[in-house]
Amino acid sequence: MAAFGERDKGTPGVVALITDFGWRDGYVGAMKGVILGINPRCHVVDVAHEVPPHDVMAGALVLRGVHRYFPQGTVFLVVVDPGVGGRRRPLVLETGDHVFVGPDNGVFTFILKRGDVRAFHLMKRRFFLEEISPTFHGRDIFAPAAAHLTLGVRPEEMGPAIPPEELALLSVPEPVREGETVFGEVIYVDRFGNLVTNLRPEDLRAPFVIEVGGEKLLEIKASYEEGKRGEVIALWGSSGLLELSMREEPLRERRGWGPGQKVLVHLGKEGKGR
């Protein structure tokens, strides 16, 4: 597989944006303007801008769920950056398929866990805007760097290498098995109020009973519409993780459950007749 900078420099390039900026204040537009000012042919894709403010874990999970579906050479510009202007480092990461630009605050946790990453400290000022605001590195540092990458600049030209093991990682809770019980929890809430857990297919072995908030779920549904009105259901979400949902209603609001809510899987228990 060709390294990032070895592709045809005449291609427009793709920058995929993930931020917590929302649409009201023009921050996203400013970043797009910078990118297009450097590479007018660039394809800029809005992946998500409604990440909850300062929620680095949510940004990391959005990136985890979408990056594999983008073409080789895509530059992911991820700005969920509560520490902007502070000590956290600006980064460029390179894998065999994609490049990632953003802060060293854990937002790239799931990319780093892959283990095939080269990391660089984004330091060379020739790839930044001339004036840098301490409160808007997305516009002044990250956006211009991403644009230059689409023009064929190699990541290592932007700053010194950093051992990936030195980069910030979020504390991502893993399911824990004790005897015949697997202890999982909710790690994310999507805009529909569905609850994404950290439970994977390998954590469930039939028969089982799922217990959450005192309610017991006896099976995995195939789709949202299989649930009855007002019924809490479990199903495998598009991320490959177990989701808890309620048909056409926001489960988050109906039950008040959110990140950190415990979800237990009792293995070897038959749900029928309970």
The pLDDT of residue 40 is above 90: yes
Which one of 8-12, 31-35, 267-271 scores highest in mean pLDDT?
31-35
- Does residue 159 have a pLDDT over 70? yes
The phi and psi torsions of 183 (rounded to 5 degrees) equal -100, 110
Beta strand 99-103 with 208-212: parallel, antiparallel or unpaired? unpaired
H-run or E-run covering 263: strand 262-267
* Mean pLDDT value of segment 55-62: 95
Cα–Cα distance for residue pair 214/24, rounded to 1 Å: 40
Instruction: Name the residue among 213, 222, 171 with its Cα closest to residue 195.
Output: 213
Judge whether 218 and 272 are in contact, CB under 8 Å: yes
For residues 169-176, average pLDDT: 93
**pTM for the whole thing?**
0.87
Mean pLDDT (the chain) is 92
Confidence tier at 9 by pLDDT (50, 70, 90): very low
Domains, the chain, in order of start with CATH, read 4-166 (3.40.50.10790), 176-267 (2.40.30.90)
CA distances in angstroms from 115 to 30, 89, 100, 163, 227, listed in the order given: 33, 20, 14, 11, 39
Among candidates 54, 121, 117, 126, which has minimal Cα distance to 87? Answer: 121
Return the higher-pLDDT residue of 11 and 94. 94
Query: Is-contact 47 93, C-beta < 8 A?
Result: no
What does the pLDDT average to over 52-59?
Answer: 95
> For the stretch 91-119, what's the b/e string if a residue is b when 16 or more beta carbons lie within 10 angstroms of its beta carbon?
bbbbbeebbbbbbbbbbbbbbbeeeebbb
Q: Is the pLDDT of residue 152 over 60?
A: yes
Q: What is the mean pLDDT of residues 150-174?
A: 96
Confidence check: pLDDT of 28 > 80: yes
CA distance 255 to 213: 9
Rounded mean pLDDT, 36-52: 97
DSSP type of residue 31? H
The pLDDT > 90 percentage for the chain reads 87
CA 124/CA 191 separation, integer angstroms: 38
Do residues 121 and 157 touch, judged by C-beta distance below 8 A?
no
Rounded mean pLDDT of 71-94?
96
Structure tokens at 238: 């598009």
